[in-house]
Amino acid sequence: MANPKRAHVDNREKVRRFALDLPDAYEDFPWGELVVKVNGKVFVFLGGDQADPPPGMSVKLRDSHDQALDAAGAAPTGYGLGRHGWISVPFGAGSPPAGALSDWVEESYRIVAPKRVVARLDAKRAATAPRRVSPGRVERDA
């Protein structure tokens, strides 16, 4: 049986590492909580280590906003952030797969980051995207 606490830790760490791998992203600890920023702006909140509120992330979404709200336990972020598109998604058993969490982190990054930095992400994605070499067969660039 999956350990729910382990799942919290795993998801938080996966999201943290994914976020920090985005161009110019760096972590910070304003008001005692872990956040990841780009160009001085937060694009994902990862909370503190305390149990209340439960571990999770908050991201700013547009295209995936409604989809993310359908995730188990997801809700508009408090303190007025929800009305600006921020959504809080809890980690743990029943939370969306890590791939979906990462997609939402990237969407938030694209909303918050300057265009010139997003262009670098696009270039990075293009360089590592699977390249179709023949019908039905793809190859990843080295």
Contact between 125 and 38 (Cβ < 8 Å): no
115 is a site residue for other proteins (CB under 8 A): no
* Site for other proteins contains 49 (CB under 8 A): no
Which range, of 7-15, 37-45, 63-71, 91-99, touches other proteins by CB under 8 A? 37-45
CB nearer to other proteins: give 41 or 132.
41
Q: How far apart are CA 61 and CA 87, in angstroms?
A: 7
Question: Within 13 Å, how many C-alpha atoms sit on residue 117's CB side?
Answer: 17
Residue 35 vs 74, nearer CB to other proteins: 35
Residue 86 contacts other proteins per CB under 8 A: yes
The verdict on 80 binding other proteins (CB under 8 A) reads yes
Q: What angle do CA 42, 43, 48 make, to 5 degrees?
A: 70
Give the number of residues written for the chain.
Answer: 142
Q: Which one of 49, 52, 84, 141 is in contact with other proteins (CB under 8 A)?
A: 84
Shortest distance in whole angstroms from residue 66 CB to other proteins: 19
For residue 34, give the DSSP letter.
E
Cis before 130 (ω within 30): no
Residues that bind other proteins (CB under 8 A): 28-33, 37, 39-42, 77-81, 83-84, 86, 112
